[in-house]
Amino acid sequence: MAITTVPETPRKPGRPPSPYSARPQRTSLGRKVRDNLTGHAFLIGAVICFVVFSWYPMIRGIVMSFQRTRRGETTWVGWDNYSRIIADPSFWTAWQNTFYFTVLALVLGYVVPFFVAVLLNEFRHGKGYLRILVYLPVMLPPASALFLFKFYAYDPSEAGLFNAILKALHLPTSQWMQSPEMTMPAMVVASTWMNMGGAVLIYLASLQNIPGELYEAAELDGAGIWRRIRHVTIPQTRLILALLAMLQIVATMQLFIEPLILANGAGAEDSATSVAYLIYQHGFFQNDLNGAAALGVIMLVVLAGFSAVYVRLTAKQD
Amino acid sequence: MAQDSGTRTLISQTQISRGRGRVIYWTLLVVVVAAFTLVFLGPLYWMVTGALKSGQEIAQTPPSLFPKDPQPQNYIDAWNNLDLAKLLFNTFYYAIGAVLFQLVLDTAAAYSLSKLRPIFGNVILALMLGTLMIPAMVLIVPQYVTVIDLPILHINLLDSPFAIWLPLVANAFNIFLLKRFFDSIPEELMAAALMDGASSLRTLWSIILPLSRPILGVVSIFAVTAVWKDFLWPKLVMPSPETRTVSVGIYAFAGGTPMNVVIAASVIAAIPTVIIFLIFQRNIMSGLTTGSIKG
């Protein structure tokens, strides 16, 4: 969730043109060509990297998903890769698990950071310290943080941190990653702990932009804290809330390192297998890069579907 | 982002500063500070001290809060058995290279898109920003296939640092951040430089870059942490043990290594990014929120 942008604000109409393009009319054609060439010379390095490592692979992924390479020979196979991938017994399990994770992560990883930010925004003291604390786990390499959870927190014996706490509270202990029911919630907790800092900081920044008069007016109208949150805070941060929801769905649909490290991949009774893990399995263990590419395309289509719904929902609100 | 006591928030200052409100505020503050310390710092404490415990102590119930008989040997074993010096050096090397490539190529591109505005510049920018919508997992297979046999050149980049450096240049978020910053630099400065007959490169070097130090810092920090935190891509393109990054190396050893040692190695792997964060936290936080929210 490190990447967060909103669409660029539209260009102001009064924006002065570039000093290069605003050259007097008498600029010669040669001069114009040279200016454009200079501009493209500065762009070329980054553009080559985009072409080779981003735009071309995008097209190639789609092409690959309709091909099959065997012993160095590539042939067109139509929808074969898709039918083979869908016939994989783990296919539906992986989608189920991934959706389950996405929903759980929305409940926990999306709602919690918002209320944490609302709470922190009210504090007049210690805000800097709390902000550093929340963001600290984001800076850990995910592998390090997940080994901590795997070995110390989710240890299924009573020597594990969570079980020790549960036992001290006289609550039943859990098998954590060894229990199919607990696998997903346990992964969501670890993932939220690692990633929520970014969302909290972004919410905090947008909360600071809410005009104070709105709260004052709401208070004069006799609105309590909850109604002020509902009628002022949430509508005022609506755009950023919607944007982060979308980004979070995109991020959680790519669930990979959590199952790989916490659950050694598939987990108890396949309870951790995710779509991304299946891509990895097919591509790099079963020597089926074409099948993996097909699964990648399916994932892209599903996410594009989410985006379409998102665009419709946000467009309606405006 | 500074603490702004003048701004009215959800609850008014007057409500907090007297009577019952005051008591509630301070109680809540203390509870939250304690809870956050426990939740976010607690696990790190557990990690650092847990790696000091002996195998027996780790398995004991209930777990001990302080290591009874600290075993710094675990850290030494981690350092030696996993060859952490080599792994850390590799990661550091990839991170520095990533910073240089991104600073040079992305800055040049953002400068061109913001100030030189060549023909089709907007189309290129739109195509770049479009990549933000494409999940990394979707591209992983075709990217891997591209890296093992580069188009036209037919070079295999496996185990070459370029396999990490070059794909990171294709980072639309950086170009967006840089371009937005350059957009805010007044056109008059450019025009003045032009009058003096300075070339585009000269203008970038002596006028734009000195003004852009904050954003260049942010981009560099993000580049370093991205390399340090990445896992799947370096795992795929750096297959031999000599070229692994630290996260991948620890993962590769985790199976056959006592868990205290794995945790000790994880602690060591996390130290550089934590230090970077503590030093540059202001820049990181402003970088995260610039360009993200407006009004």
B141 touches A at CB < 8 Å? yes
Tens digit of each residue's pLDDT (9 = 90 or more) over B157-175: 999 999 999 999 999 988 9
Distance CA A249, CA A243 (A): 10
Is A301 among the domain residues? Answer: yes
- Answer yes or no: is pLDDT of A229 > 50: yes
CA of A288: which chain B residue's CA is closest? Answer: B141
Mutate to test the interface with B, among A148, A247, A275 (most CBs of B within 10 A): A148
Indicate yes or no: CB of B9 within 8 angstroms of CB of A212.
yes
B131 touches A at CB < 8 Å? yes
CA of B35: which chain A residue's CA is closest? Answer: A130
A183 and A303 share one domain: yes
Q: Among A49-58, B55-64, B83-92, B199-208, whose mean pLDDT is lowest?
A: B55-64
A182 and A44 share one domain: no
Over residues A53-62, the mean pLDDT reads 94
Residue A95 maps to which CATH number? 1.10.3720.10
DSSP string, A70-98: ETTEEEE-TTHHHHHHHHSTHHHHHHHHH
Tokens of A271: 């309870």
Cβ A101 vs Cβ A184: under 8 Å:
yes
Tens digit of each residue's pLDDT (9 = 90 or more) over B255-271: 888 888 999 999 999 99
B251 touches A at CB < 8 Å? yes
| Helix (H) or strand (E) run with residue B88 in it | helix B84-101
In the prediction, which pLDDT does A278 show?
94
User: What count of Cα atoms within 13 Å lies in the side-chain half-sphere of residue B168?
Assistant: 28
Which residues of chain A lie closer than 8 angstroms to B273, CB-CB? 139-141
Over residues A190-194, the mean pLDDT reads 92
CA distance B233 to chain A (A): 11
A243 and A313 share one domain: yes
Give the pLDDT band (50/70/90) at residue B103: very high
Q: Rounded to 10 degrees, what is the CA torsion of B279, B280, B282, B284?
A: -150
Distance CA B42, CA B37 (A): 6
Distance CA B89, CA B242 (A): 11
Which residues of chain A lie closer than 8 angstroms to B204, CB-CB? 42
Q: Among A246-260, A279-293, B53-67, whose mean pLDDT is lowest?
A: B53-67
A258: nearest Cα among A169, A181, A193: A193
Distance CA B35, CA B248 (A): 32
Domain count, chain A: 2
Distance CA A125, CA A123 (A): 5
A133 and A228 share one domain: yes
- Please give the share of chain A, as a percent, with pLDDT higher than 70: 91
Which residues of chain A lie closer than 8 angstroms to B164, CB-CB? none
B45 touches A at CB < 8 Å? no
Phi then psi for residue B156, to 5 deg, are -100, 120
Range of the domain at A96: 84-317
| Residue B76 CA to its chain's centroid (Å) | 27
- A&B contacts, CB < 8 Å: 343
- Answer yes or no: is pLDDT of A53 > 90: yes
B287: nearest Cα among B209, B235, B216: B216
Distance CA A29, CA A38 (A): 14
B116: nearest Cα among B242, B208, B38: B208
Report the residue from A50, A158, A209 with minimal CB separation from B61: A158
Over residues A79-103, the mean pLDDT reads 93
Indicate yes or no: CB of A143 within 8 angstroms of CB of B191.
no
A286 and A155 share one domain: yes
> What value of ipTM does the predicted structure carry?
0.87
Report the residue from A205, A208, A232 with minimal CB separation from B292: A205
A92 and A51 share one domain: no
Is A75 among the domain residues? Answer: no
Decide: residue B181, CB within 10 A, 0-12 exposed, 13-18 middle, 19+ buried: buried
A57 and A93 share one domain: no
Is A118 among the domain residues? Answer: yes
What pTM was computed for the model? 0.86
Indicate yes or no: CB of A133 within 8 angstroms of CB of B36.
yes
In the prediction, which pLDDT does B167 show?
95
A199 and A306 share one domain: yes
- Answer yes or no: is pLDDT of B282 > 70: yes
Distance CA B132, CA B66 (A): 45
The domain spans of chain B are 13-71, 77-289
Indicate yes or no: CB of A207 within 8 angstroms of CB of B9.
yes
In the prediction, which pLDDT does B88 show?
94
Indicate yes or no: CB of A159 within 8 angstroms of CB of B41.
no
In the prediction, which pLDDT does B294 show?
37
In the prediction, which pLDDT does B8 show?
79
Residue type, A37: L
Class of domain B77-289: mainly alpha
- Please give the share of chain A, as a percent, with pLDDT higher than 90: 35
Distance CA B282, CA B287 (A): 8
CA distance B60 to chain A (A): 6
Tens digit of each residue's pLDDT (9 = 90 or more) over B184-243: 888 888 888 878 888 888 888 888 899 888 889 888 988 998 999 999 999 999 999 999
How much is the CA Rg of chain B, to the nearest whole Å?
24
| Helix (H) or strand (E) run with residue B58 in it | helix B55-58
Report the residue from B8, B46, B288 with minimal CB separation from A216: B8
Tens digit of each residue's pLDDT (9 = 90 or more) over B138-158: 999 999 999 998 888 888 999
Distance CA B246, CA B133 (A): 29
Within 10 angstroms of residue B152's Cβ, the number of other Cβ atoms is 6
Distance CA B53, CA A269 (A): 32
Give the pLDDT band (50/70/90) at residue A56: very high
B250: nearest Cα among A241, A142, A270, A42: A142
A231 and A311 share one domain: yes
Give the pLDDT band (50/70/90) at residue B290: low
| Helix (H) or strand (E) run with residue A69 in it | strand A67-70
In the prediction, which pLDDT does A96 show?
93
Tens digit of each residue's pLDDT (9 = 90 or more) over A9-46: 444 444 455 555 444 555 688 888 888 888 899 999 99
CA of B277: which chain A residue's CA is closest? Answer: A139
Decide: residue B59, CB within 10 A, 0-12 exposed, 13-18 middle, 19+ buried: middle
In the prediction, which pLDDT does A20 show?
52
* Cis-peptide into B62, omega within 30 deg: yes
B202 touches A at CB < 8 Å? no
In the prediction, which pLDDT does B234 show?
95
Over residues A258-287, the mean pLDDT reads 89
- Answer yes or no: is pLDDT of B293 > 70: no
- Please give the share of chain B, as a percent, with pLDDT higher than 70: 96
- Answer yes or no: is pLDDT of B61 > 80: no
